[in-house]
Structure 1
Amino acid sequence: MPKPKSRTPMIDFHLQIPTKIMDWVDEQINSGFYRSRTEVIMDTLRKEAKKKEEN
């Protein structure tokens, strides 16, 4: 991959995010919030699949 000549706007944007927000995001990830959301979505999809099989 060729090296970008300049940083992307996205990276500049991330550099401007206050550390308080980054700490909060880390807390959410570490508390399992994102994992549990994924599990809820997967459970919903499984229930939908079961309904389709029964019909």
Structure 2
Amino acid sequence: MLCGSLLDQAALYRVLLKINSLGLTLLSLETSEAAEAQEQSVRDTDHPNAAASKQ
């Protein structure tokens, strides 16, 4: 697993090219926004009253 931030789309492209040149297969790619939304969804599922109190 690789984690980290990239400065821009060009930096992401270089990382993807390197993965490809090493013959590796990319199984998943998440943005930080997607990861945060998923974590919030899990928290809301674990605590149903938390979602209701935000409304």
What TM-score, normalized to structure 1?
A: 0.33
Structure with larger Rg? 1
Q: Which has the higher helix share?
A: 1
